[in-house]
A and B are shown apart, each in its own frame.
Chain A
């Protein structure tokens, strides 16, 4: 009975020195196993894009607020700096008892890391708007709101988008540790077999690729939105 039961399990012979057995960088293995990275890759994209988007909204609004109420700048930038100073793995673990395993915990931590870059760059960008431009706009009778959206924000765009680029690439790296919060991602694949070259190169390569793509995407947006700067940069 039992012989019949197991007859179907195929026992493979493992004598040869295959690429995988020698821990090489194996094109065959990579093509055959690539689909296992697809899910984690998109999860990584989800974690990165969602947290940068949420972080952008929060930090942008705070920076606008601080632009009007200057006394807010020191406490806000100090807070975001301290948040950024907490090691990511530690923050994931510190949040676990509060918010449980999964995306929510990962996103809270990741969002908190994006704040500093976006807040600082939006603030710097708004401060960097030439006083002449502001005066001219006021002279033309623009209201404060119009001044902000028609003059200050557009002129600060390069700086704002630069902050976004930093936030995006940094978040890709931090999301690689989100599996400590039970949120998967490419880091999980790396961690699962950290000594296997093919695995590390593919999963790690995808993470780097994602960082580069996001960086170039935002750079492209910057070029599109601020054509007047193309000559100087």
Chain B
């Protein structure tokens, strides 16, 4: 038992050491780890941010529009379910096979991954805005676009944000396999393990875990901040709220 434990501790301390201290690569002459992890982390975040921004730029207006006019309920609600049935690896692989490697195809595939939760949540959030508020705004002479922008969007923002949070966490986790499409991320030491070594692979796994949990936690705190008091239903998985009894919606869990 002890030698097993010793080797486990050895593996993990090697991985952690890789994160903080630069070392020579397995194949020699170049320096990997340590400082390089910052570069990989920034790349990872830039790729993820681009994907989420693109997804939100499409999904939020679309969700607002569909929600406002009450159109496409089936599609908007089921987008998340359909999205979940397509494994992320498959999504990425299809883009690599059909569009080739590089930043754009990978970013688009990650954006597609981020789209469904944002769309579903925006739609649900918009639908939940009280009819009275909308009528009042209309009575004041607001245009439909104005209502969407100034009434529905602010009132739905907490739920939209919950969707953005789920999407972001998914994208950051999935960006780990971006190196399959020749885009550097924290997954690079995992995929190019013959340069970075076993320590690099484990170190990157640790780094990705910490990064994802930190961002997930940070967004959860932020989500509380943007949630109006008395409306804390910003739980991240819209699908659970909407799948069964609509009456359960309001009781959906708050984010821990």
Binding site for B on A (CB under 8 A): 23, 74, 77-78, 81-82, 85-91, 93-94, 96-98, 117, 120-121, 124, 127-128, 158-159, 162-163, 166, 169-170, 172-174, 176-177, 180, 187, 190-191, 194-197, 199-201, 203-204, 207-208, 211-212, 215, 233
Q: Are B89 and A87 in contact (CB under 8 A)?
A: no
Q: Among A77, A124, A169, point to the contact of B248 (Cβ < 8 A).
A: A124
Q: Are B176 and A90 in contact (CB under 8 A)?
A: yes
Residue of B nearest to A205 (CB): B90
- Inter-chain contacts of A90 with B (CB < 8 A): 173, 176, 204-206, 208-209, 212
Q: Are B97 and A97 in contact (CB under 8 A)?
A: no
Q: Among B84, B98, B256, point to the contact of A77 (Cβ < 8 A).
A: B256
- Inter-chain contacts of A98 with B (CB < 8 A): 8
18 sample A-B contacts, Cβ–Cβ < 8 Å, listed by A number: A74-B256, A81-B256, A86-B209, A87-B176, A89-B177, A94-B205, A94-B206, A124-B252, A124-B253, A127-B251, A128-B251, A162-B243, A173-B84, A173-B87, A191-B180, A195-B101, A200-B96, A208-B86
* A38 vs chain B, min Cβ distance (A): 18
| Most B C-beta atoms less than 10 A away, residue of A162, A204, A215 | A204
**Contacts A117-B240, A162-B243, A215-B85 given; 20 further ones with Cβ under 8 A?**
A87-B209, A88-B173, A90-B205, A90-B206, A90-B208, A90-B209, A93-B205, A97-B12, A120-B240, A163-B240, A169-B81, A173-B87, A173-B90, A177-B88, A190-B93, A194-B96, A200-B90, A204-B93, A208-B87, A215-B81
* B192 vs chain A, min Cβ distance (A): 14
Complex Cα distance, B255 from A211, in Å, reads 27
Complex Cα distance, B190 from A85, in Å, reads 19
- Inter-chain contacts of B12 with A (CB < 8 A): 97
Complex Cα distance, B187 from A180, in Å, reads 12
Q: Are B240 and A121 in contact (CB under 8 A)?
A: yes
- Inter-chain contacts of A174 with B (CB < 8 A): 87
Q: Among A77, A89, A194, A195, point to the contact of B253 (Cβ < 8 A).
A: A77
Q: Are A87 and B208 in contact (CB under 8 A)?
A: yes
Q: What 1/0 mask marks residues of chain B from 215 to 246 whose CB sits below 8 Å from any chain A CB?
A: 01000000000000000000001011001110
Interface membership of B27, Cβ < 8 A: no
Complex Cα distance, B205 from A170, in Å, reads 21
- Inter-chain contacts of A200 with B (CB < 8 A): 90, 93-94, 96-97
Q: Are B11 and A211 in contact (CB under 8 A)?
A: no
Complex Cα distance, B90 from A203, in Å, reads 8
Q: Are A89 and B8 in contact (CB under 8 A)?
A: no
Q: Are A170 and B84 in contact (CB under 8 A)?
A: yes
- Inter-chain contacts of A93 with B (CB < 8 A): 190, 201-202, 205
* B163 vs chain A, min Cβ distance (A): 16
- Inter-chain contacts of A120 with B (CB < 8 A): 237, 240, 253
Q: Are A94 and B87 in contact (CB under 8 A)?
A: no
Give residues 55-101 of B contacting A (CB, 8 Å).
Answer: 81, 84-90, 93-94, 96-98, 101
* A69 vs chain B, min Cβ distance (A): 17
Q: Are A176 and B240 in contact (CB under 8 A)?
A: no
- Inter-chain contacts of B174 with A (CB < 8 A): 87
Q: What 1/0 mask marks residues of chain B from 25 to 37 whose CB sits below 8 Å from any chain A CB?
A: 0000000000000
Q: A170-B84, A177-B89 are in contact. Are A124 and B240 (CB under 8 A)?
A: yes
Q: A94-B209, A190-B90 are in contact. Are A85 and B216 (CB under 8 A)?
A: yes
Complex Cα distance, B136 from A8, in Å, reads 86
* A226 vs chain B, min Cβ distance (A): 10
